Each structure stands twice: as C-alpha cells, then as structure tokens.
Structure 1
Amino acid sequence: MSKLNRAWHDANPMPANPTLDQRVEWHLAHTAHCGCRPIPRLVLEELARRGIAVPETTR
C-alpha cells in the first residue's frame, strides 16, 4: 500500500450508496491514483467476473 493521496480523495469521493458499477469504477481509479488500501474482496470478485485485470498501484 502507498501513502494516502489526500488531493485525489478530496476531489473523488465515493458516491453515497454507490451502485456496483460506481464502486468498480471508483476502485479502479483509486488504485491508479492513490492505492492507499487494497480493493475490497467483493469488488475484486466483480472485476474477475467482468474479465477486468486487477491493476497494480501506480503510486
């Protein structure tokens, strides 16, 4: 895990009551721009179901 990217988090809050699509999109962006914590198991399972490779943190 990397250090928290406060600026990214402030500019990109998770929507209230997010849909699964919103959660997947947010966590993919989060991993690319911050990666301060791992992707939750349920989102990882959904990525696998959709055939989306799990990205590595770029920070």
Structure 2
Amino acid sequence: MKFNKEWHLSHPMPRNATFEQRAAWHLEHRKNCSCRPIPAKLAKEMKKSGISI
C-alpha cells in the first residue's frame, strides 16, 4: 500500500470529529492515499446514511 505522507501532514483528522467530518476525511483519504481502507464500522454507517463508498 502506498502512503502519501504529504497528504496526511496537510489533512489531519479534526479532533473530536463528527460522523460527517470522519466520512468526508476518509473519502478524501481514499482518493489521495492507499495506506489503509475505510474502517468497517464507519463504512457500514456511511452506507446506512446513503453515502456512496
């Protein structure tokens, strides 16, 4: 898996992120870095909320 250090340094996950912030961060992360997948629990909640992954 490819780690995009520059992207991670310039896009930290917000402290106490809301569900919407976490979902948005992980979708952007997936576009810019392939170091890990979206966590299963979050992916499940995103699908339940109608967010396409």
TM-score interval, normalised by the smaller of the two chains: 0.7 to 0.9
Segments of structure 2 that go 5 or more residues without pairing to the other structure are none
Measured in 2, the distance between the counterparts of 1:9 and 1:53 equals 22
When normalised by structure 1's length, the TM-score is: 0.79
Instruction: Return 5+ residue gaps in structure 1 as ranges.
Output: 55-59
- What root-mean-square deviation, in Å, do the aligned CA atoms of Structure 1 and Structure 2 show? 1.1
Please report the TM-score for the alignment, with normalisation by the length of structure 2: 0.87
Name the structure 1 match of 2:39.
Answer: 40
SS at 1:31's partner residue? helix
Q: How many residues are paired up?
A: 53
Query: Match for 2:52: what amino acid?
Result: A
Q: Which residue of 2 aligns with 1:14?
A: 13
Q: Sequence identity, in percent?
A: 45
